[in-house]
Structure 1
Amino acid sequence: MIGLWHALVEQPRIKLQFKIEKKGGYTLDAAMEPLPAPLRFTNVTVQGSRIRGTGKVFWDPGDELEAELDFKEDSFEGHIHIPLIGTIPLHGARGRGPYMALSLMDEIAPYRQHHVKERSDEDIHEAIEQLLARLSLEEKVGQMCQCQASNFSFGSEVATDPPEKLIAEGRVGSVLGAFDITRVFELQKIAVEQSPHGIPLLFNADVIHGSQTVFPIPLAWSCSWDMEAIKEACAIAAKEASASGTVYNHGPMIDVARDARWGRVSEGAGEDPYLGSLIAKAQVEGYQGESLFNEETLIACLKHFIAYGAAEGGRDYNTVDISESTLRNVYLPPFQAALEAGAGSVMNAFNIYQGVPAAASTFLLKELLREELGFKGVLISDYGSVDEIRVHGHAKDTEEAALKAVQATMDIEMVTRSYDALPGLVREGKLAERQIDEAVRRILYLKYKTGLMDDPFRYIRPEKEMEWHFSEAHLQASLELARKSIVLLKNDGVLPLAKEARKVALIGPFADSKDLLGPWQFSRYGHETVTLYEGLMGKGIGEERILFAPGSKVNEPLDGGIEAAVEQAREAEIVILALGESSDMSGEAASRMDIVVPEPQQRLAEAIAAVGKPTVLVLTNGRPLALSWFEQHMDAIVETWFLGSQAGHAIADVLTGDYNPSGKLTMSFPARIGQVPVYYNHFNTGRPLTETNKNQKYISKYLDGPNEPLYPFGFGLSYTSFAYSDAKLDRSLMSAGETVAASVKVTNTGAIAGEEIVQLYIQDCHGSIVRPVKELKGFCKVFLAPGESRRVAFEITAEELTFWTPDTGYTAEPGQFKVYIGSSSRDVQEVDSLELVKESENERGSWPE
């Protein structure tokens, strides 16, 4: 029974794939097409040729997932019970089975348009005006509404008609969550053939870190500091998703996040606005490519505008209360960079700003986003956030909520039906029809720009699904980025693993788990995720050398689990302890009060540490965790995050030394939970803690722990070592139009080649408003052979010294700046002081007023 198996089901029309493996005990993993729904069996038993598995599904945790399969040589029979679907009899065979959309290739052929050319903006605007003149008020509003492709809900149930009815009547202009290419074809066909004007639909989806080939979560890939690799990951995701009919991505998420309790830190680039801006730009360029007319691209939607990452207590959907200075200096820069890169869409945040829900804020959406930043694209609400204007207490009813959203220039309401009230509001004179027209113009522009108006079925390409989904080239790209995303937090010399090690104890709930993809992924290939066990076997460490024991489940103890794990650890030369969070413990609606390794795993770790063998902690998680106990008791700590489809291979490459880790943290790890939020670019207080005053009482400090994080922003070790020397500036004075060069000599002082991320930080020593103790303003990745040295140089201009103040707006103020270069935000050396001076008659450039 070992291997890949499949079963085709006629009603409902699905294909089930099963992967069965035996490593000590049996494991059963499954995937379901066309729905990208992961099926995880956590309890598996085998009797003869019969296997039985039970588990839970994320969409109905109250009902049990259950399968029972009876195998013959090349076939099986049995049944599966899937919550909300029911019990289905199964007859299956070996292998992945036939491609589900094979018949669609012939069916779609007559609908294809050939030799369609990209329209000019002038042509598009003319066509929009002609179409707009033919639309009734209700038909215009229909373009501003979105429905789901099915009855599945990501929140409370939505009272609405079936999607087929809404589309045929022209009451929606876009559809969310049509993951199946056949479903996209069905719904687009209704829109083109039955709706009043045959306007094609936009198909939207959340493609956050890969489509069918899953890449590391964004917090992980940000630790690569590799913009080209991140851009490539997004381009591959766009290629795979667009082949299935998706046109419009609900991503990237570019919120700056400083509180690790917030589950959505997994979707972003961490705590720094500068690095976050570069990554935001790379993601937009990856998703959108050279032109949205290219059917291998997606419309990028920037979320969440704005300051969602500042939710109080790290609790999702919670209140945000920040100053305009913090808004502009911390949370706005990634949006500015992504808008400059040409992002076609923006999504509002769930939070309030200055007491007004973002979805209704004319200041945020109309004045700041559209008028000041010049955004001309489509503004889409987050799921249900228009109606939530009422729930917040900012509108008395649904009609007023819809009115406020449109007045704030919200173009599309995601899924809920508050916008059904818009025609009545226009007729009552409360809303001008020109505001509706403006929104519809922006929506139609995207439909023309992507070529949908001239070729509605151009994104439905089953032949490309077969070619690209989970292809070897895409898997290789995922593997390479996964390696770069791993951060070595501690190593007392036990890594890399000695090739001649006799036996390795592989212990923990993530030792042989496929739950390595993280939140926000909808791959139909999740059951083929490479586990850590499989990764080690791929390195030639055979089953006879791997002493395996799960020890515990993620959040529950296993009967006898710790005892069995301890027995394996005693027999081994080295222990790999694979612990962490399950995918559903990170992401949206996954905030945690205690950002620690769950208690059953903590007890397992304590028992293993007591054995006294060299122990390597391998972490799978979606956020920084409080790891002080592990720092004291583990010999090495490897932060792997959720690495995607090739996770096991990437981790094994690092553990065995076939890849020298080079990742650097983009979010600080607290020493204790009470420090959170903790971040490197904080302000000085009037009573800052220093080495000389640390024993005084009336200082800004804790009584029971340090101010500093355990592992700071920018931190990450290597299997080699790097020395920094001869740091200098080429001059100490500069005016606004000039450039100063900061440089340092970096030497590989270890025995193997490695890559170092050299970081430049600047502190504005005094200003019209208080500035952070340091801010990242540049970095450079340098690869050095053993003994090799290289001088790394950075250019400093007035742009790096500019910030926003309430009195003068964006400016670089004259004064003194400190320049630091080093390997992390903590491990830096002061290069020198730099003074920004006003222009003299003999100096070049102009001073910003």
Structure 2
Amino acid sequence: MRSGRRLTLGLVVAAMLLGSQGQALAGNKPAYRYPWLPVKARVADLLSRMSLDDKLGQMMQAERLGIKAPGDVAKAKLGSLLSGGSSQPTPNTTQAWADMYDNFQREALSTPLGIPLIYGVDAVHGHNGLYGATVYPHNIGLGATRNPALAKKIGRATAEEVSATGIDWDFAPCLCVSRNDRWGRTYESFGEVPELATSMSTIIDGLQGRSLSQPASVMATAKHYIGDGGTTGGVNEGNTQISEQELRKIHLPPFRAAVERGVGSVMVSYSSWNDVKLHANSYLINNVLKGELGFKGIVISDYNGVDKIDGKTGFTPEEVSASVNAGIDMIMVPFEYQKFIDTLRGEVQNGHVSQARIDDANRRILTKKFELGLFEHPLTDRKYMSTVGSKEHRDLAREAVRESQVLLKNDNNVLPLDKSRNKIFVAGKTADDLGNQTGGWTVGWQGASGPVTTGTTILQGIKQTAKPSSTVTYSKDGTGIDHSYDVAVAVVGETPYAETKGDRPASMGLDQTDLATLQKLHDSGVPTVVVLVSGRPLDIAQQLPQWDGLIESWLPGTEGQGVADVLFGAYNPTGKLPVTWMRSADQQPINVGDGKPALFPFGYGLSYRHGH
């Protein structure tokens, strides 16, 4: 070493780890700036240089809309930002996202230590907040495919489109096991048994790639830990009142699988387990997740989740220390991040939160930032911009749609439809509605009806598939149908929703608009095929006898051509129910093995040529 130069603590650690290679550290850069050093050594060196304020800033994740002025990111030394479900830049283009990301990132890099931001987004079925991105079927549809290899491919394609906008962190997949279809997040679940979410956790491998440092790798998040799909009454953010044995048997296995796959982060659930909020549950986070499962990544709170611990608005010092001591490493405080930093600083200073706990949280956060290569490549890799909504990705989505369709009824072989010499009448509010087809979490948190993004509606798919010798007539409400038609296709179901607003504590049937449309078709005497677009099974037992065919389409996303492929037999349906289909809403919760008689059992699904 050059004489007179003193090794910093980090250099000593590095020298010890590397032996003679430590010689190469001679130079002016701090050890954490050397990419060839082991991540552990880089983290130790950087941590030794950080003040308490640096460390508290790293533990904060603010909403980008909460950044009120240029310089706020650097001033608070923020470690992370997110775009919530309805937080898109204007214009909502790939370029604008990338520019926004890079501007925030440059600000973080301007701080004395130059620690890059990590930026999160809810890309839960493709990069769904970005206009023009490929939107895949929601998880319940992927669960119907029973195809883990497909899930992995979707993870990879999503990671490319997310990377194109600079984002490093995806708050997906949801590994909840939905046990009550009244829950508004049922469609975010792969199904009602742990085996489905466990097998489909391959999507994590797709998102994260072979290593986080690879181009177009984004950090995945297993959420929501734990038991959010098992709340009493299917109430969102509710209370899961079950034994630890059942919690471990039903809800823990997918998280164990995610940890084994090296998932980078785990998000804590808003819900409670036997009246204790998960955001304050040290046993389940510290003992089970970090201890027993050996999770080494970042535990992140949900959006304002810490504020919900005591059930009152406005977080308290007690809530802050309870959540951090329970093992939450990064806290999503969308707007009041400065108040949170000040409160947490007070809790450290008064001894309610230890310096060791703050260091542990920072170690976990910084480790992921180094593993992602953010110190070397902090800005957007714009070569992935061409992947957004690309033909390759849309073809993959179309394949996912095909495989997710579940044929539930096919009297007199009404399906597949004949492409030639066929007179087809198409009706229903969702036949030509991309927003209904994509559902919630699509260019907006709750989603919306109408042309919310670009893609192919189910009606367009039908028109593109029928040959010129056939006619396709469309009427949204069914007006104009008569005896002359060979078949009617009704595309009906739920309109978009996300958490809480999507809870259905009362009836679970079709709405009056759909019932009126279906009645018109039935009255005409024309054989009717129903395509049900919904985030869960609906209460349809009374109407079912009037339908000749039924396909459960779930929420297929932007590629409606995949539905048409199944309707016309270009693809023989292979989808199987990932949930048990109720005979009536009052059976909820109904799950495989509980002895309740189902309208269609878990795993049911017909095909055209071979029957069930």
TM interval, shorter chain, is: 0.7 to 0.9
Per the alignment, in what secondary structure is the counterpart of residue 538 of structure 1? Answer: helix
CA RMSD of aligned residues (A): 2.2
CA contact (8 A) 1:526 1:645 kept: no
> Which whole-Å deviations, capped at 9, do the CAs of 1:427-458 have from their partners, x for residues lacking one?
1122211110110111000110000122221x
1:672 matched to 2:588? The reply is: no
CA contact (8 A) 1:505 1:569 kept: no
- Cα offset for 1:537? 1.6
- Cα offset for 1:367? 0.7
Residue 396 of structure 2 is matched in structure 1 by 477
One-letter code aligned to 1:549: S
1:197 matched to 2:123? The reply is: no
One-letter code aligned to 2:322: K
CA contact (8 A) 1:118 1:449 kept: no
Per the alignment, in what secondary structure is the counterpart of residue 133 of structure 1? Answer: helix
**In structure 2, what is the Cα distance between the partners aligned to 1:567 and 1:185?**
54
Which structure dedicates a bigger proportion of its chain to helix? 2
**In structure 2, what is the Cα distance between the partners aligned to 1:606 and 1:469?**
41
Picking from 179, 186, 190, the partner of 1:258 is 179
Residue 643 of structure 1 is matched in structure 2 by 556
Residue 246 of structure 2 is matched in structure 1 by 326
Higher RCO by CA contacts (8 Å cutoff, separation 6 or greater): 2
**In structure 1, what is the Cα distance between the partners aligned to 2:33 and 2:384?**
21
Per the alignment, in what secondary structure is the counterpart of residue 506 of structure 1? Answer: strand
- Cα offset for 1:544? 7.5
> Which whole-Å deviations, capped at 9, do the CAs of 1:267-310 have from their partners, x for residues lacking one?
11110111221112x11111111100012111111100000011
- Cα offset for 1:349? 0.6
CA contact (8 A) 2:239 2:271 kept: yes
Flag the 1:533–1:482 CA change in 2: closer, same or farther, 3 A.
Answer: same
Per the alignment, in what secondary structure is the counterpart of residue 632 of structure 1? Answer: helix
1:221 matched to 2:142? The reply is: yes
Picking from 94, 105, 129, the partner of 1:188 is 105
CA contact (8 A) 1:168 1:190 kept: yes
**In structure 2, what is the Cα distance between the partners aligned to 1:423 and 1:342?**
31
1:316 matched to 2:231? The reply is: no
Higher alpha-carbon Rg: 1
1:568 matched to 2:481? The reply is: yes
- Cα offset for 1:570? 3.6
Which 5+ residue runs of structure 1 have no aligned equivalent? Answer: 1-115, 152-160, 552-564, 685-706, 723-822, 824-849
- Cα offset for 1:426? 1.4
**Aligned positions of 1:111-510 closer than 5 A:** 123-151=38-66, 162=68, 164-177=70-83, 180-193=97-110, 195-211=111-127, 212-280=133-201, 282-391=202-311, 398-416=316-334, 417=337, 418-457=340-379, 460-465=380-385, 467-492=386-411, 493-510=413-430
One-letter code aligned to 1:404: A
Task: Give the alignment's TM-score, normalised by structure 1.
Answer: 0.63
Flag the 1:405–1:497 CA change in 2: closer, same or farther, 3 A.
Answer: same
CA contact (8 A) 1:501 1:573 kept: no
Flag the 1:419–1:168 CA change in 2: closer, same or farther, 3 A.
Answer: closer
**Aligned positions of 1:25-36 closer than 5 A:** none
**In structure 2, what is the Cα distance between the partners aligned to 1:302 and 1:527?**
27
Flag the 1:542–1:548 CA change in 2: closer, same or farther, 3 A.
Answer: farther
- Cα offset for 1:495? 0.6
Which structure dedicates a bigger proportion of its chain to strand? 1
Flag the 1:238–1:231 CA change in 2: closer, same or farther, 3 A.
Answer: same
Residue 530 of structure 1 is matched in structure 2 by 456
- Cα offset for 1:550? 0.5
**Aligned positions of 1:13-32 closer than 5 A:** none
Flag the 1:163–1:322 CA change in 2: closer, same or farther, 3 A.
Answer: farther
- Cα offset for 1:494? 0.6
> Which whole-Å deviations, capped at 9, do the CAs of 1:448-472 have from their partners, x for residues lacking one?
0000122221xx023321x211111
Which 5+ residue runs of structure 2 have no aligned equivalent? Answer: 1-31, 89-96, 128-132
Task: Give the alignment's TM-score, normalised by structure 2.
Answer: 0.87
CA contact (8 A) 2:421 2:469 kept: no
Per the alignment, in what secondary structure is the counterpart of residue 640 of structure 1? Answer: strand
Flag the 1:213–1:117 CA change in 2: closer, same or farther, 3 A.
Answer: farther
Per the alignment, in what secondary structure is the counterpart of residue 390 of structure 1? Answer: coil
Per the alignment, in what secondary structure is the counterpart of residue 407 of structure 2? Answer: strand
Picking from 612, 617, 628, the partner of 2:525 is 612
**In structure 2, what is the Cα distance between the partners aligned to 1:639 and 1:367?**
41
> Which whole-Å deviations, capped at 9, do the CAs of 1:122-142 have from their partners, x for residues lacking one?
721212122112211111100
**In structure 2, what is the Cα distance between the partners aligned to 1:411 and 1:673?**
40
CA contact (8 A) 1:149 1:163 kept: no
Per the alignment, in what secondary structure is the counterpart of residue 379 of structure 1? Answer: strand
**In structure 2, what is the Cα distance between the partners aligned to 1:539 and 1:431?**
63
Segments of 4+ moved more than 6 angstroms: none
> Which whole-Å deviations, capped at 9, do the CAs of 1:530-549 have from their partners, x for residues lacking one?
01221112113459712211
**In structure 2, what is the Cα distance between the partners aligned to 1:569 and 1:181?**
53
Report the count of equivalent residues.
553
Identity %: 32
One-letter code aligned to 1:206: D
Per the alignment, in what secondary structure is the counterpart of residue 646 of structure 1? Answer: coil
CA contact (8 A) 2:424 2:473 kept: yes
CA contact (8 A) 1:665 1:712 kept: yes
- Cα offset for 1:171? 3.4
Residue 513 of structure 2 is matched in structure 1 by 600
CA contact (8 A) 1:547 1:572 kept: no
**In structure 1, what is the Cα distance between the partners aligned to 2:125 and 2:34?**
29
One-letter code aligned to 1:131: L
> Which whole-Å deviations, capped at 9, do the CAs of 1:713-752 have from their partners, x for residues lacking one?
1000000126xxxxxxxxxxxxxxxxxxxxxxxxxxxxxx
Flag the 1:534–1:711 CA change in 2: closer, same or farther, 3 A.
Answer: same
- Cα offset for 1:501? 4.0
Residue 519 of structure 1 is matched in structure 2 by 440
**In structure 2, what is the Cα distance between the partners aligned to 1:370 and 1:398?**
25
Flag the 1:423–1:411 CA change in 2: closer, same or farther, 3 A.
Answer: same
Flag the 1:383–1:163 CA change in 2: closer, same or farther, 3 A.
Answer: farther
**In structure 2, what is the Cα distance between the partners aligned to 1:529 and 1:569?**
31
Flag the 1:230–1:573 CA change in 2: closer, same or farther, 3 A.
Answer: same
Residue 13 of structure 2 is matched in structure 1 by none
CA contact (8 A) 1:128 1:444 kept: yes
Per the alignment, in what secondary structure is the counterpart of residue 212 of structure 2? Answer: coil
> Which whole-Å deviations, capped at 9, do the CAs of 1:483-541 have from their partners, x for residues lacking one?
00100010011111123444111011112112211222339995422012211121134
Picking from 550, 567, 575, the partner of 2:476 is 550
Per the alignment, in what secondary structure is the counterpart of residue 347 of structure 2? Answer: helix
**In structure 2, what is the Cα distance between the partners aligned to 1:573 and 1:340?**
53
**In structure 2, what is the Cα distance between the partners aligned to 1:235 and 1:631?**
39
Per the alignment, in what secondary structure is the counterpart of residue 618 of structure 1? Answer: strand
Flag the 1:664–1:332 CA change in 2: closer, same or farther, 3 A.
Answer: same
**In structure 2, what is the Cα distance between the partners aligned to 1:422 and 1:404?**
11
> Which whole-Å deviations, capped at 9, do the CAs of 1:241-278 have from their partners, x for residues lacking one?
01211111111000000111111111111101112211
Per the alignment, in what secondary structure is the counterpart of residue 489 of structure 1? Answer: strand
- Cα offset for 1:397? 5.7
> Which whole-Å deviations, capped at 9, do the CAs of 1:139-197 have from their partners, x for residues lacking one?
1100000111125xxxxxxxxx626443121431001017511100110011112x242
Per the alignment, in what secondary structure is the counterpart of residue 223 of structure 1? Answer: helix
Residue 610 of structure 2 is matched in structure 1 by 721
**In structure 1, what is the Cα distance between the partners aligned to 2:603 and 2:44?**
51
CA contact (8 A) 1:574 1:613 kept: yes
